[in-house]
Structure 1
């Protein structure tokens, strides 16, 4: 994206006033001993100065650039014969050519150098004394430095705009990732559990156990209600994360939330135990949610890939971190229903878990490995 370099209406008006003043001075101070061509070229430089401003305002950049170059050449040639009056449009031409970052820098420097040289060349037939010549050349040199400064400012402004746009894009991307992560967590847990319950209902109905099937349907209904509640919490967190995560969470509340997940896993026919080591401390809501989601995802993965196998979970409190370790045996295969459920995974859970822990205020990490016949997930949140 290019920062707009079109002049404002005020700048166009001021240019017109300046051109009129210089033109009036040229006509009034033109004496008989000066050639007519000097007046003509001087007026051409003044008129093109105003025309260039109008063309730039209209967005005709190339035409405005050509006008600026002609203004520099013509104004510089007659600068000395006009007692330095046309140095003004020539210097402004140098400034605008050098100040536009869309044009090559070398081209702007070339125009500035040619302008300075033409001022000196035009002073030879006019018989201009050295101090006046140095003053006019100094004005052109100042225009070169002003153009470079203007160019640098516009480049910095453009970079600032790009950085703001990139920051907005990154924020939007982070929001999309957060939404995708929370949707996965809710759907993987709730819908995965519903699949297991409905498979059990189907099996019980085939065997004629209507009472058992009814109890499974009731459990499935509760699981669906819990999923809706989780979805509402996820939406509330996304809409106002500051308000949701303001209060610290005691370790007992975290333990209760993890126990609920263990109980839900057992209600779906799984086996799991949760152990706690160390003295707990208060956590932020973000840290608490990350640990809950980690256990939730680990249990969902166990139901998918190791149905019926015991799951061992341990919450380890240390001085500078809290670590959740979840492991289950690796299995060679499972039944048809479990295979269909396992095929629904896309590794988005582990990826989202790593993103969630990496985004914690004090940092965190997630490691998933298969070793000694067991799949071990280790998620840790730094406390400071």
Structure 2
């Protein structure tokens, strides 16, 4: 076996791959149970999810083999391709009438393409390329960072603006989490600690107001709505978040039923396929956004903690691959992927427990959905790519 092949095997993060596969295994079990009461049963959902996982694994290994620095050469073309697709979604008003947002492009076979999911991959790579600012000109000089900042700002406003217009609050929040992570990593240390401290204070203040002084918090939101700062649907999200029991016929029903399901699971759960809320199909979107309620009810606190521990291992390995990166570009990529997953996990589980406002954020590798699964595998493939190339001689350029 050649030295390059031996180094390839030595540098490949097999542990990260095993963790991802374990989480996908949990996904299939959860989806099987969550869709068992659906018309036609769970077989079709499990098969579709398995196919997307298989495609995701193939995509992960393909992206792992292509030097991420080569990917960055074509990132502008990929960006404009996704921008065009984000504009195409507005040509399908029937999708908006059904889902409430222009987020998907119908494809043959009954599947849908969600361009905003793929924008996250392109967005992370663009930010990493221009923030790292490592490409030298013919004279060996680094480009002016001001140009990079302007390009990033323009690209962010255009892409995020189209997603806001769909509207897709969940994807928008994830993109903002990516931006926040990039700023944390890129700014000087004193600015990093200042922003981290400010974010911590803001979170502490938010939870204090919503849990200790909920009525005063809602009064403040009502005032902002009166002044035109918040729109009606945004104000309703806060009211549903604080008092879901007051709107059980509409938005509050989902959160209320999810809390009942998770709470009824207690320590060890009711057993797979045995959850009364899950099998009674009481929780809307229990196989997508609210799949954590299925895990909490049927596997209990122990099962939920086991899943959270797997997510911790996933994040740990992503961060470790970032620390071992040989350049700032690779470090930024891993940091932003970790930051996005941290927000996604926290928001999804938090909204199921009524700790965070309800948004359309899926649970990574667990929730049912083709585009999200494929994009998550793409990001893991790029992270593995960074880890494989931490040493200059790990690969030939063939």
TM-score normalised over the length of structure 1: 0.28
More strand by share: 1
In terms of Rg, which structure is larger? 1
